[in-house]
Amino acid sequence: MAGEMWKLRVPGFRSSAQAVEYKSMMKVLEALTDEELEDKSLLRGLRLMRVARQSEQPVRFVNQVLSRFDQTAMLHMWLHRQHDEGRALPTTMEEAHERMAADPAVRRYSAGMASSKVIQRRINRRGSL
């Protein structure tokens, strides 16, 4: 345990349980192909089972990781847009979530988060949501 004390100093790692969860999440993401990372709609049936098997995680956990990945991507895009438009960035995650929830563009596009490919195409064309 003494050799793992450094993990408790890493921001976001408050316990060994969080470190284990992080490692499990990384296994899932590492099991994805580049194509699957770009288009999560491909992750159905056998592909989903393959990722679960390779990451040694249940399918339910794989789906949770993918959902968190999408949420983080949405947060990242929103923060970039806030910065590019010269708006003040939130200082806490709670503030970020509140401001995102109040943003009409996020509400409009998060309803179709399953179609994150559409969002990515729009960002590529216009540079923002």
Task: CATH number of the domain at 12, please.
Answer: 1.10.260
Structural domains in the chain (count): 1
Our measurement of the distance from residue 91's CA atom to the centroid of its chain's CA atoms, rounded to an integer in Å, reads 19
Indicate if the pLDDT at residue 117 is higher than 70: no
The CB-based long-range contact list for 66-71 (8 Å cut-off, 24+ gap) reads 66/28, 66/40, 68/25, 69/29, 69/40, 70/40, 70/113, 70/116
The larger pLDDT score, comparing residue 3 to residue 24, is at 24
pLDDT-based confidence at residue 114 (cuts at 50, 70, 90): very low
pLDDT score at 21:
86
Phi-psi region of 56 (alpha: psi -120 to 50; beta: other; left: phi over 0): left
Indicate if the pLDDT at residue 103 is higher than 90: no
Tell me the whole-structure pTM to 2 decimals.
0.64
In DSSP notation, 13-81 reads --SHHHHHHHHHHHHHHHHS-HHHHH-GGG-SHHHHHHHHHHHT--HHHHHHHHHHHHHHHHHHHHHHH
Quote the domain boundaries for residue 58. Answer: 2-126
Tokens found for residue 29? 């993401």
Burial class of 126 by CB neighbour count within 10 A (0 to 12, 13 to 18, 19+): exposed
